Amino acid sequence: MISLTRLNGQRFAVNPDLIQRAEATPDTIVTLVDGTKLLVKEGLDEVIAIVDDHRAAMVARSIEIANAAAAAEEDAQRPRARSRAHLSVQPEVD
């Protein structure tokens, strides 16, 4: 989700995958795939930058998750060193 601002200052979140287009008339109009039109304070270039940053963050997060999964799989396949048995001596109680 990305956060945008209505002209009255109210913040709201929208799924950037649902944005069909953004237009710069005197005000910026974001049109969703279902035809809903959102009038926002952010300029056209700022909306584009917000969507680009969001998508870049999603790609970066996907890479992090894939790398973590690969590292976990490597660790699972690596033979474990044998653990030494732990012995302890308890004093006899009379």
Q: What is the CA 17 to chain-centroid distance, rounded?
A: 14
Q: pLDDT per residue over 73-94, tens digit each?
A: 887 787 766 656 555 666 777 6
Say yes or no to pLDDT of 43 above 80. Answer: yes
d(CA 45, CA 68): 34
What is the pTM (predicted TM-score) of this model? 0.74
Closest by CA position to 46, among listed 22, 65, 67: 22
Q: Which residue has the tokens 């945008």?
A: 4
Q: Which residue has the tokens 């979140």?
A: 13
Q: Which helix (H) or strand (E) holds 74?
A: helix 44-77
